[in-house]
Chain A
Amino acid sequence: MAEPNIKDYSCPHCENRFDSLEKMKAHMLSDHRGGRLPLPEGRVSMNINGKKYALDVKPSWTLYYLIHDHLGLTGAKQFCDRGACGSCTVIMEGKPVLSCMILAVECDGKIIETVEGIADAGHPLIDSYVKHHAMQCGYCTPGFVTTSKALLDGNPEPTEREIKTALSGNLCRCGTYPQHTIAVMEAAENLKAKKR
């Protein structure tokens, strides 16, 4: 079989085109210093609730779509889908963020925590939310719980004002707001007792 006559090579790093393999190799060594080849398009690895995942995602997938529709972690809820309500909150690298406004393809290497992980770890927030009935329909609740968990991680003794500020991006149309400060305060107490 004759050697294939390829006249079009494209650099895997930057997609610059070259007419011979040698030219492309020289370009890769000089411009990219022979660095590690990029991963296949859309391949991401992440740690979700302590479990490692390697996933192939489409550029248009949001993090919400990936964890809710693809991985089946249905705790995070979609409501506004525009970053205005807090229902889809997950914790990424320790901070509460809105999974509906993050592209999954940009989450490579991230540590993500969802409300399922918080519940599985037996976090006192879950019990105190149930006890103080900080919900009516419950649709927004996972977003509140994840936001509160991130708050308590960074600030084990929040004041009422700090709790209200932290939760100010979570909307609840049933109007359960007063219950959240009570529930989070109690969870903070229980968390301290648990650590003692």
Chain B
Amino acid sequence: MKDFVHFNAYTVDEAAALLNRYGGNAGIIAGGTDLLGKMKDRVLPSYPEALINIKTIPGLDAIEEKDGGLSIGALVTLSRLAEHSTVRSKYTALFEAAGRTASPHLRNMGTIAGNLCQDIRCWYYRSPQNRFSCLRKGGGRCYAIKGDNRYHSIFGGSVKGGCIAVHPSDTAPALIVLNGKIVTSKRTIPAADFFNVGVHRTTALENDEIVTAIHLPEPASKTRSAFMKFALRKSIDFPIVNCAAAITFEGKTVTHARICLNAVSVVPRAAVKAEQVLIGSILDEKSAEEAGKAAVADAEPMEGNAYMVQVARTLVKRTVLSCATSPEVDPK
């Protein structure tokens, strides 16, 4: 790797001040599993002048139960989430999502905040030596639209209507259906509003803003959540489609439903129409099937990714059905 300046930050303010000092030319490093790959491949036209290590900031690696909810520090690794008993019992979707992300080694390194802030995986964007100056890098066109788009958006593009790269996070849809809130050094953002696509941008974070924690509220009683992922391999792979759902029951009737797909669109996509289908109905094979259809009713696949529509439809169906039978949580 090309040289850069390295700082160990000891407070969030110090890290933010360093980001400020370097303008847009510094990066935050925690797990590093996404960032270092980008730097080794020289993916971007620019190379960070400085990296600011936030692993040295005390207090950002705690999982605390607070006011019935859960506060997860930005530095909590995915493997800790995938072993945590409260996450398992109350926030099953997040538990399953964290346990299905990447490989065991990467889960020991990668953090929850890093999983949310990671960059896109589009192979044109990630091509070494900045080979394709695409829309997302401030260039003139999206190479995936006419190129190989088998893992790209089935719900249209961003950035001037182009850029059909999908958001690759597994934990993002889980946090969205669990009504999570992202706490940063400046504000608190609902997980659903956290993702915002632009040139060199996947989140709503400002240049000197740092994620410090994720807050999950206490789930409503009789709520079950689940997460499912479709990928080519069971381990390591990024999702081709993933889906999280949180469903609240009264008797057998669904009173509240949150369903979110990811890796199908430029940002995690709440399946609002599927939620509307389920609310008020009894969750069974038939209503789940209808929810799946509704979730992809407005899909506009590209030449190479029509199969993803089918995968997304089935995944929505299976995920909501597994909320009905989820062994992890017994309805109170």
Contacts and interface: CB of A to CB of B under 8 A. Distances in A.
A83 interface: yes
A101 B32 contact: yes
Q: Size range of the interface on A?
A: 20 to 34
B103 A86 contact: yes
Interface stretch (B2-10, B211-219, B248-256, B286-294): B2-10
B32 A59 contact: no
Contacts of A103: 6, 29, 32, 36, 51, 53
B55 interface: yes
Given A97-B109, A101-B109, A81 B103 contact: no
Interface in B41-55: 41, 51, 53, 55
A112 interface: no
A103 B55 CA distance: 12
Nearest to B233: A168
Given A98-B109, A101-B36, A106-B55, A14 B3 contact: no
Contacts of B236: 84, 168-169
Contacts of B232: none
B234 A82 contact: no
Contacts of A96: 104-105, 108
B53 A169 contact: no
B58 interface: no
Interface residues of B, number: 30
Contacts, number: 81
B234 A58 contact: no
B108 A59 contact: no
A169 B106 contact: yes
A168 B104 contact: yes
A169 B78 CA distance: 14
Report which residue of B4, B5, B17, B105 has the largest number of chain A beta carbons within 10 angstroms of its beta carbon. B105
Q: Nearest 4 A-B pairs (CB), nearest first?
A: A169-B103, A59-B6, A168-B235, A60-B1
Interface of B: 1-6, 8, 14, 17, 29, 32-33, 36-37, 40-41, 51, 53, 55, 79, 102-106, 108-109, 234-236
Given A103-B36, A165-B104, A168-B104, 4 more contacts: A83-B36, A83-B106, A95-B108, A169-B235
Interface of A: 14, 41-42, 58-60, 62, 81-84, 86, 89, 95-98, 101-103, 105-106, 147, 165-166, 168-169
